[in-house]
């Protein structure tokens, strides 16, 4: 089969191997692909793999040989999956591969907000501790998390893992989700969104990007939070109204924020969050650990194998093609 990978670099910048994919056919692997180059590069593709290169109807309609779309991600909003349904083309994503890694970064952002590790490291290395007459010092207020309320918005695999870690830290976990699980031993309290925002000392967002969640974190959302509370977003950038968050941070409506995602990636230099001192931003790296990407590629391989065997798995467009 003819296989094309449109944007393989971020998944594999050279520390992993694509050798496995040649078992399935001839493959062209591109570092990046501009939208205007998709059709030329993928014209004969039967299997098309993408991470962030958008595949809209006007593009897909020109790819007459296409039989399968594979994602190098969990999110699938970049693919017109409804059009793919009309063509009988399965769209297969990589679910749950990054739950542990996203949980890890969620707390890395939170710990930086509560303990300012980087600032204190710089202070020590600049000589402030050596010159201090006291045995210790601190540059910022420090916050203990024990007995604080941790709010989780969205309760999929990642939200559930985050909740368990927060509970293990001695925090009281509040959860808002449209579909509370009917089973599972979760040490948490399911509450309305307003109650979660009013009570939480930390609000961590883990919901998918949908028409209902786009712009969910807006001015009204932020006004309902405690002035001492922190916001963490490791879900999707478009869930947050960035102008509203920048205004809330500047006006001390909330104490701080940590985000791994922005509405446009890479962001423009004018993104309002870039100039907020009390906002920590990482460049969408929660998923990027070596082990995490290794797992992603293994699932991608398993997805392709399942498709070739006539039993596609992890389909996001609910096709029954068996």
Segment 246-292, tens digit of pLDDT? 999 999 999 999 999 999 999 999 999 999 999 999 999 999 999 99
Question: For 176-205, what is the mean pLDDT?
Answer: 93
Kindly provide the residue ranges of all beta strands, DSSP E only, lying in 22-177, ordered along the sequence. Answer: 26-29, 47-50, 68-71, 91-92, 149-153, 172-176
Average pLDDT of the chain?
95
Kindly provide the residue ranges of all beta strands, DSSP E only, lying in 90-135, ordered along the sequence. Answer: 91-92
End-to-end CA separation in angstroms for the chain: 19
The model's pTM is: 0.91
Of the candidates 300, 266, 241, 315, the residue with the CA atom closest to the CA atom of residue 81: 315
Six token digits for residue 17:
């191997």
pLDDT digits (tens, 9 = 90+) for 229-242: 999 999 999 999 99
Residues marked active site are found at 236, 265, 284
CATH 3.50.50.60 holds for 2-95+290-308: no
Given a cut of 90, is residue 33 above it in pLDDT? yes
DSSP 79: B
- How many Cα atoms sit within 13 Å of 199 on the Cβ side? 19
Six token digits for residue 80:
């017109």
pLDDT for 75: 86
Under the banding of pLDDT at 50, 70 and 90, the label for residue 318 is low
What residues does CATH 3.40.50.720 cover in the chain? Answer: 2-95+290-308, 99-281
Q: Which residues contact 322 (CB under 8 A, 6 or more apart)?
A: 310, 311, 312
As assigned by CATH, the class of the 99-281 domain is alpha beta
Given a cut of 50, is residue 227 above it in pLDDT? yes
Six token digits for residue 94:
């990589």
Radius of gyration in angstroms for the set of CA atoms belonging to the chain, rounded to a whole number: 22
Given a cut of 80, is residue 53 above it in pLDDT? yes
The distance from CA 123 to its chain's CA centroid, rounded to whole angstroms, is 32
Q: Work out whether the CA dihedral 228, 205, 211, 198 comes out positive or negative.
A: negative
The distance from CA 114 to its chain's CA centroid, rounded to whole angstroms, is 22
pLDDT for 320: 45
Q: What is the number of other CB atoms lying within 10 angstroms of the CB of residue 220?
A: 12
Which residue has 């063509």 as its token pair? 87
Reduced DSSP (H G I as helix, E B as strand, rest coil) percent helix, strand, coil of the chain, to 5: 35, 15, 50
**C-alpha to C-alpha distance for 243 and 241, rounded to whole angstroms:** 6
**C-alpha to C-alpha distance for 98 and 84, rounded to whole angstroms:** 26
- Among 48-52, 149-153, 297-301, 318-322, the range scoring the smallest mean pLDDT is 318-322
Q: What is the number of other CB atoms lying within 10 angstroms of the CB of residue 313?
A: 14
Of the candidates 118, 119, 228, 232, the residue with the CA atom closest to the CA atom of residue 165: 232
């Amino acid at each position: 089969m003819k296989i094309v990978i449109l944007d393989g670099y971020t998944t594999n910048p050279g520390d992993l191997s694509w050798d496995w994919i040649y078992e399935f056919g001839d493959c062209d692997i591109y570092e990046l692909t501009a939208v205007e180059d998709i059709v030329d590069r993928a014209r004969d593709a039967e299997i098309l793999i993408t991470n962030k290169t958008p595949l809209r109807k006007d593009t897909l309609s020109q790819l007459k040989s296409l039989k399968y779309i594979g994602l190098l991600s969990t999110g699938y909003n970049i693919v017109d999956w409804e059009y793919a349904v009309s063509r009988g083309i399965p769209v297969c994503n990589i679910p749950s591969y990054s739950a542990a890694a996203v949980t890890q970064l969620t707390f890395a952002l939170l710990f930086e907000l509560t303990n300012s590790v980087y600032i204190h490291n710089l202070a020590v290395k600049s000589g402030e501790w050596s010159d201090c007459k006291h045995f210790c010092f601190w540059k910022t207020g420090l916050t203990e998390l024990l007995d604080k309320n941790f709010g989780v918005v969205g309760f999929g695999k990642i939200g559930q893992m985050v909740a368990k870690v927060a509970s293990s830290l001695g925090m009281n976990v509040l959860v808002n989700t449209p579909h509370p699980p009917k089973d599972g031993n979760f040490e948490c309290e399911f509450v309305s969104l307003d109650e979660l925002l009013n009570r939480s000392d930390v609000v961590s967002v883990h919901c998918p990007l949908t028409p209902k969640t786009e712009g969910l974190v807006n001015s009204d959302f932020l006004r309902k939070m405690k002035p001492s509370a922190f916001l963490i977003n490791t879900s999707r950038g478009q869930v947050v109204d960035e102008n509203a968050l920048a205004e809330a941070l500047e006006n001390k409506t909330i104490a701080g924020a940590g985000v791994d995602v922005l509405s446009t990636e890479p962001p423009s230099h004018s993104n309002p969050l870039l100039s907020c001192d009390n906002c920590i931003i990482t460049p969408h790296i929660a998923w990027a650990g070596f082990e995490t990407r290794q797992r992603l590629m293994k699932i991608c391989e398993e997805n392709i194998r399942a498709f070739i065997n006539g039993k596609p798995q992890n389909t996001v467009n609910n096709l029954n093609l068996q």
